[in-house]
Amino acid sequence: MTNQGLPETGVEIRLASRPNGFPVRENFEIAEAPVPAPGEGEILVRNEVMSVDPAMRGRMNDVQSYVPPFQLGKALDGGAVGEVIASNSPRFQVGQHVLHGLGWREYATLDAERAAPVDPDAAPLNAYLGVLGMPGMTAYVGLFEIAKFREGDTVFVSGAAGAVGSLVGQLAKQNGAAKVIGSAGSAEKVRYLTEELGFDAAFNYKDGPVAEQLAQAAPDGIDVYFDNVGGDHLEAAIDQLNDFGRIAACGAISVYNDTDPTPGPRNMFQIVKKRLNIRGFIVIDHVDLRERFQTDVAPLVRDGRLRYTETVVEGLRNAPDAFFGLLRGENTGKMLVTV
Ligand code: NDP
DSSP annotation of 254 reads: G
Residue 44 shares a structural domain with residue 115: yes
- Indicate whether 227 and 87 sit together in one domain: no
Same domain as 235, residue 138: yes
CATH at residue 67 = 3.90.180.10
Residues 106 and 197 occupy one common structural domain: no
Question: Would the CB of 251 count as within 6 Å of ligand 1?
Answer: yes
Domain membership flag for residue 154: yes
Assigned domain for 303 exists: no
**pLDDT at residue 88 in the model:** 97
Q: Is the CB of 228 under 6 A from ligand 1?
A: yes
Of 284, 299, 323, the position where a domain reaches its end is 284
- The answer to whether residue 203 sits within a structural domain is yes
What's the CA-to-centroid distance between 96 and ligand 1, angstroms? 32
Task: Look at residue 94 and tell me if it is in a domain.
Answer: yes
pLDDT at 3: 54
Is residue 90, in this structure, part of any structural domain at all?
A: yes
Dihedral Cα 271, 277, 282, 286, nearest 10 deg: 180
What is the full per-residue pLDDT of the chain (339 aa) written as tens digits? 445 689 999 999 999 999 999 999 999 999 999 999 999 999 999 999 999 999 999 999 999 999 999 999 999 999 999 999 999 999 999 999 999 999 999 999 999 999 999 999 999 999 999 999 999 999 999 999 999 999 999 999 999 999 999 999 999 999 999 999 999 999 999 999 999 999 999 999 999 999 999 999 999 999 999 999 999 999 999 999 999 999 999 999 999 999 998 888 999 999 999 999 999 999 999 999 999 999 999 999 999 999 999 999 999 999 999 999 999 999 999 999 999
Domain assignment present for residue 304? The answer is: no
H or E, element range at 107: strand 107-111
In terms of domains, do 27 and 101 share one? yes
Q: Does ligand 1 come within 6 angstroms of the Cβ of 326?
A: yes
Indicate whether 192 and 321 sit together in one domain: no
Task: List the CATH number of the domain containing 164.
Answer: 3.40.50.720
Q: What is the phi/psi pair of residue 95, to 5°?
A: 100, -20
Ligand 1 within 6 A of CB of 190: no
306 contacts 171 by C-beta, under 8 angstroms: yes
Using CA atoms, how far apart are residues 257 and 277, in angstroms rounded to an integer? 27
Residues 6+ apart with CB under 8 A from 117: 92, 96, 97, 98, 99
Are residue 39 and residue 66 in the same domain, yes or no? yes
Do 279 and 143 reside in the same domain of the chain?
Answer: yes
Same domain, 97 and 140: no
d(CA 40, CA 44): 11
Please give the Cα distance from 237 to 182 (Å, whole number). Answer: 12
Question: Do 174 and 116 reside in the same domain of the chain?
Answer: no
What residue's CA is closest to ligand 1, atom 33? 251
Q: What is the CA radius of gyration of the chain?
A: 21
Could you tell me the residue range of the domain that residue 320 belongs to?
9-124+309-338
Number of domains in the chain: 2
Task: Examine residue 276 and state whether it is found in any structural domain, yes or no.
Answer: yes
Residues 83 and 171 both lie in one domain: no
Residues 206 and 84 in one domain: no
